[in-house]
Amino acid sequence: MAQMTMIQAITDAMRTELKNDENVLVFGEDVGQNGGVFRATEGLQDEFGEERVFDTPLAESGIGGISIGLSLTGFRPVPEIQFFGFVYETMDAISGQMARYRYRSGNTRSMPITVRSPFGGGVHTPELHADSLEGLMAQQPGLKVVIPSNPYDAKGLLIQSIRDNDPVIFLEHMKLYRSFREEVPEEEYTIELGKAEIKREGTDVTLVAYGAMVHSCLKAAEELEKDGVSAEVIDLRTVSPVDYETILASVEKTNRAVVVQEAQKQAGIASNVVSEIQEKAILHLEAPVLRVSAPDTVYAFTQAEEVWLPNHNDIVEKVNKVVNF
Amino acid sequence: MKRVLENIENQFEMFQILNEKGEVVNEDAMPDLSDEDLKEIMRRMVYTRILDQRSIALNRQGRLGFYAPTAGQEASQLGSQFALDKADFILPGYRDVPQLIWQGLPLYQAFLFSRGHFKGNQMPEGVNAVSPQIIIGAQITQAAGVGLGFKKRKEDAIAITYTGDGGASQGDFYEGINFAGAFGAQAVFVVQNNQFAISVPVDKQSAAQTIAQKAVAAGIEGIQVDGMDVLAVYAATKEARQRAVDGDGPTLIETMTYRYGPHTMAGDDPTRYRTEDMDSDWEEKDPIVRFRKFLESKDLWSEEEENKVIEQAKEEVKAAIKEADNTPKQKVTDLMENMYEEMPSNLQEQYEEYKEKESK
């Protein structure tokens, strides 16, 4: 076991898979000699050579296109989109193409691609770096969307994503890259996609979250505990498909739920979770399911992040509403 | 500034081997093709012209769906395909069904593609191709990736992809040729300049005098070819293929061609934007007429032979439509099964619902 930050765990996962499978290729803007703008691919080109880990021209759509072409020749591409705000440039390659290839070829072609990309607020990035656009991806049949919240999950989920024979969008929250370390096994291990994890057990209310909001929920849960409210915190880990089984079991126990996301209220995936709960567990509910999310504006200008991004206070407030409904 | 443009344009004079009378005007460039090869090319062109006529008729009868006419482009489509090996990988646009057929896609599957049935897109084992691309330009970046894959695997194979004159205005067109250039991908990019993108003439796409010169922006070789001359298209593709596998980089080939029919059969009316004069000018350049004259001058072709091909084409079309008719209808559960290797939980749940519906 080693103490790793999330970014180190991510590098470790790629190193593991580059070693395991000669078809794995890592590429993108500045991922080669430079080791990535966040050092996620540091040392990988030196270790595996330019044939396996390489820089590309600055064009996201082209990166998506070559990922598809490399898959058609039997490779397992792990491309990087430098910031997920740039996904618009490659929406066709992802949603219009790779997500649909297995289906459009009648199951004769597959796209074992893992698109890695950083996102997320709280680190004062310039425009279109921090936007939460997982909702766009979650709406596309054919994709899986994974968002880890800690180093241990990041490694296990990334190895599993790379081994998956269908396209996976792997979104890495920038604020979590180096915010804490935890024990991460040095050997390989995997975490099944589409499986949530209960991060904290509770009896009064279910908090469903992913990404940085998992930590805000845990902080809120601690405060709520002082007021005698016991919150169960679920980390989705995969936002498409969502592990509704775990959520529903929790809601049946607590009878109350709040879904928490960093994305705007009209975006993200919280509405999906609310719908599923009301379809499948309405008779277990003591109160409506509420959402914590950002306002429906364009992502905040840097200096407005603090007042705009949802935080643990917003969560406590919503939980109190649900508990006192 | 003017001089720069002129200098560039002078590099892209149209490459031609056969003139409109079927005379060889460029003996030095004559490709090495046996008499049997030459006859096979003619058979394929005639067959494909009949296939186009029959497809239009079948579409009008409602027995085919989406169809983009190909008449006029036989030299461009089949001359380039004839230069390929079995190992080469075709990434076609939506008008490029003939190349797939001659690469090995059974005709009934091409008809299923037209109708909208997934079985039409299941390339048989060993047919290195994907189904026709509807998003104009997407095939170009993907071809760069296939060509890079072949280079990495050190295979004697290329990716070949096709788009039209309108497609050369897309960002993905530029990105694709530029990536291929930067990586030395084993790829050949064919722009079939049929003068119109639906109703928009090529001079409204770009101020560039040729599309071939767009290769300069990617730092790769470019050539403009008489796309009504099957020998010139064959020779240019063959050479580009060789350059690619020799590690000399990708090539952009512009074929100057024409579609005699409408853009697609979905209600496009070419009389709204084309003149009769223009149509008849291009009909004089007909690739089949020209090649027929050439073969006749070498005593390699006869009316009898041509009629045989026509009859064969008509019969095979009839049989293929029948086979398409006999293909089982698609079920929602089929579509679900083709989504992922392993169905995620949401699909599993829906699968059960539809299985239940389908069993009633």
**A contacts of B138 (beta carbons < 8 Å):** 65, 92-93, 96-97
B159 phi, psi to nearest 5 deg? -95, 135
ipTM of predicted complex: 0.97
- Quick check: A103 pLDDT over 90? yes
pLDDT of residue B3: 83
pLDDT of residue A164: 98
Given this structure, which CATH class describes domain B2-329? alpha beta
Tokens 């949530």 belong to residue: A196
pLDDT of the residue at B9: 87
DSSP character at residue B189: E
**pLDDT at position A11, please?**
98
Active site residues of A: 129
CA B72 to chain centre: 12
Q: What does pTM read for this prediction?
A: 0.98
Tell me the residues of B at the A interface, defined by beta carbons under 8 Å apart: 89, 118-119, 121-123, 130-131, 135, 138, 140-150, 152-153, 159, 171-172, 175-176, 178-179, 182-183, 335, 337-341, 344-347
What is the structure's pLDDT at A170? 99
Confidence of residue A17 (pLDDT cuts 50, 70, 90): very high
Within 10 Å of residue A56's Cβ, how many Cβ atoms?
21
B118–A64 CB contact, under 8 Å = no
Q: What's the gap between Cα A181 and its chain centre?
A: 18
Smallest CA–CA separation between B31 and chain A, in Å? 30
| pLDDT, tens only, B182-212 | 999 999 999 999 999 999 999 999 999 999 9
Residues from chain B that touch A244, judged by Cβ atoms under 8 A, are 345
Query: Tokens at residue B341, please?
Result: 């290797």
Cβ-based interface (< 8 Å): residues of A facing B: 51, 56-57, 59, 61-62, 64-75, 92-93, 96-97, 101-110, 141-142, 144, 164-166, 194, 240-245
B183 neighbourhood in chain A, CB within 8 Å: 66
Task: State how far residue B242 is from chain A, nearest Cα, in angstroms.
Answer: 20
Per CB-CB distance under 8 Å, the chain B contacts of A112 are none
| pLDDT of the residue at B2 | 66
Which residues of chain B fall short of a pLDDT of 70?
Answer: 1-2
Helix, strand, coil shares of chain A, percent, nearest 5, are 40, 20, 40
Give pLDDT, residue A1: 79
CA-based nearest distance A101→chain B, Å: 9
Known catalytic residues of B? Answer: 259, 263, 273
What is the C-alpha to C-alpha distance for residues B272 and B288, in angstroms, rounded to an integer?
A: 27
From the CA of A275, how many Å to the nearest CA of chain B?
A: 13
Domain edges within chain B: 2-329, 330-360
When the pLDDT of each residue in chain A is averaged and rounded to a whole number, the result is 98
pLDDT value, residue A117: 98
Return the closest-CA partner of residue B161 out of B183, B198, B135, B200: B135
pLDDT score, position A263 = 98
